[in-house]
Structure 1
């Protein structure tokens, strides 16, 4: 994993390799992967807010590649991180005319708990995402798969906001 992709511009955008892009922006660090023919060719991990990390990452990717499809983890996690990632991915999807697909973030952390607020966490039990208030299990880092499993994703890409009761 590296800090940022090198900024190399090809004269003709159609000469750039066609890739698929996976965005995992549900918490810090922001994680992303670039896939060519379904195989991961580059990964990216950066601490920070999605609103600060995602724009330069997308700029660098678009300077080097043509994006054919976008995939993202649509939740659960930080409400703002999910919202920013979705808005940017949806905007790019519309602007480029490419599909956007979503799946829950458990696909990228071995189905381990995802930190929520305080000692609470999100867990997936029998296919349903719930909040556990006194979470003892450790969360796991998000890792993009070496091969993009498109069957995990849905064209229903709206954010999955799982909010605790107030």
Structure 2
């Protein structure tokens, strides 16, 4: 209730900009979602700008259109959330195979896709792989087709804003910008 009251008090000032520090900190899940919805309604219905300082990346992902990330006192990114998602869009898959890959297939995987994880047991194998470009999946299927390896399931991994935040802080944004050029 204190957080909701603080937001209401901020609205009384009728300022065009509202500054909030960790608006969902310490709230239970249900109340946290209520506060998020209140903030979205303020922007939508009252045409206010809300600046949020938060370490909760789920909140940022859910309610912010633009983000500024500061690391060690320096702005390291200032962009729309959707642009950052596009920049770090990953093509990561978990592929469940009905058989174990033979040694030739494993060698080709290592050559073509050095950043993969392959695990096997007696009945099936699991391949976790990230593709830099979407068309690389055809090369992967060429490797699987060599021995007519049955594909039981393909699951695409999704990325969240917390993962994007970590990539930016670690300096991977520069690499992503270079690859997208």
What TM-score, normalized by structure 2, do the two folds share?
0.29
Rg larger for: 2
- Structure with bigger helix share is 2
